[in-house]
Structure 1
């Protein structure tokens, strides 16, 4: 049973069927029910503006299959507008071009922080966007790409690809997924970083959507605990903005933001 809302009156069974009939084709056991419902919730979160994009993990499904899934949700009345598949490297992101564009413009105004975790330095350090001219150029290129998409809007699910051979994808995804803090590092040290055995404060944001189902994981990111005091204002502003946007919708309930400190022998980015 759905929590009270105005956007998604469909039953969970229909949402599961939509994913299994499109994304689950050819899979011996089909997609698990929980996976189908969580993906639908994530997609709705993008439409509602709770996050600018999601990273779709099942890229092997292919673009046409992904488009078929989103268009199926539109036909069912679950989504009011078309979304966009943005391929970067071997990864697909589902984005709302208009909202992602607005988010990236805010990034250029300094709303997120960048932490250099290159293995060549002993400890993580905060750097400004102006210090990272390559990242600034990358954000500007993404903005230009999204501007072009908005000039030719599509009623259905559209698709485009960006070449990324010289891009730091860890930084790109941190930006596009709406994290208030994004990691960056020197590309010649991409296989290593200085986060091993460094206490990290891991933030998670969850919200309820379907009764009797696990909550939707909206955000999960970390910051070095040693930098937490210096990043507190950025993190507080992100939380305030998220709660403000959350109050403007009726599809989800019970937003919970929490953090815990962990230390790992190695950290993959």
Structure 2
């Protein structure tokens, strides 16, 4: 069997939700995403192809690793019921860089604000969350999902997802105050990155930044693009990197 056929067979065997398994196209898209994480083009993938649980995602990873299709550095993370596939080394390196050189813009979108503002990454609530993540993600390999347990209930998961997925901007809000935000009818610059893998388009990144903060966040956005392009040039599995941007304005934004 070819590598593509092995990827499809593993996905359809391990990732059934009820009686429904992934289609061949979904399986190939997932394979491209997993390969991107394994290559360090993105530190993590939020699994949302179907309702498969973290244990099933780990079984899928174990199958791929036993076939030699991906490295042992990939782990399954169970974050409050959400399944993520992470490159442990890439995530740790990214979190260290975030704290060390302020490479991520954290945007406060609390409902009580008139408009979004960028806050200091060293803010106590954000910094302690990153440090907690660092201490919990010390494993280099695991054959079962890493469950972060009750600790993550205190975190703003929107911020955590942004950090784990390697975005140069991430949103934060005081969830003790409200889960609503101030992004309604705010023009948002949506930045997306994609590539091709064995003829299939692989969507690597998609995130937004309020257009009014683009200039303030521009240095972080440009550095993110340069780092992604450099990593892309160091591999030959994915091809034709494309980074695009568009602007949207929505009556409500769910984070």
Q: 1:216 aligns with which of 193, 197, 202?
A: 202
Residues 116-171 of structure 1: CA deviation (Å, up to 9, x unaligned): 011101000011112x2111001011111122x14xx44xx442111222110000
Does the aligned pair in 2 maintain the 1:200–1:222 contact within 8 Å?
A: yes
> Does structure 1 residue 267 correspond to structure 2 residue 253?
yes
Moved more, 244-253 or 159-168: 159-168
Paired position in structure 2 for 1:46: 37
Seen in structure 2, the aligned counterparts of structure 1 residues 260 and 145 have a Cα distance that, compared at 3 Å, is same
Q: Deviation above 6 Å: which 4+ runs of structure 1? A: none
In the alignment, the residues of structure 2 paired with residue 204 and residue 235 of structure 1 have an alpha-carbon distance, to the nearest angstrom, of 12
1:126 to 118, 125, 131: 118
Paired residue secondary structure (1:129): coil
Q: Is the CA contact 2:38–2:73 (under 8 Å) kept in the aligned structure 1?
A: no
Structure 1, gaps ≥5 residues long: 1-8
- For the 8 Å contact 1:114–1:128, the answer to whether it is kept is yes
Separation (CA, whole Å) in 2 of partners of 1:103 and 1:256 = 22
TM-score by length of 2: 0.93
State the partner residue of 2:181: 193
* 1:13 Cα offset (Å): 2.7
| In structure 1, C-alpha distance between the alignment counterparts of 2:158 and 2:178, rounded to whole Å | 10
Match of 1:4 in 2: none
Q: 2:5 aligns with which of 9, 13, 33?
A: 13
In the other structure, the counterpart of 1:113 is 105
Q: Which of these residues, 57, 60, 63, is aligned with residue 54 of structure 2?
A: 63
Distance 2:112 2:76 in 1: 35
Distance 1:53 1:238 in 2: 15
* Structure 1 partner of 2:211: 225
Say if 1:59 and 1:92, in contact at 8 Å, map to a contact too.
Answer: no
- Report whether the alignment pairs 1:253 with 2:253: no
Aligned counterpart for 2:171 among listed residues 183, 193, 197: 183
Question: How many residue pairs are counted as aligned between the two chains?
Answer: 252
User: What TM-score does the superposition give when structure 1 sets the normalisation length?
Assistant: 0.89
Query: Which deviates the most, 134-143 or 49-58?
Result: 49-58
Q: Which has the higher contact order (CA 8 A, sep 6+)?
A: 1
| Range moving further from structure 2, 217-226 or 18-27 | 18-27
| Residues 94-105 of structure 1 mapped to structure 2, 5 A cutoff | 94-105=85-96
Q: Conserved in 2, the CA contact under 8 Å of 1:117 and 1:123?
A: yes
Cα distance in 2 for residues equivalent to 1:56 and 1:264: 25
Q: Residues 173 and 25 of structure 1: is their aligned pair in 2 closer, same or farther, counting only changes over 3 Å? A: closer
Taking only aligned residues, the RMSD between alpha carbons, in angstroms, comes to 1.7
Give distance in 2, aligned partners of 1:93 and 1:190.
26
Shift of 1:82: 4.4
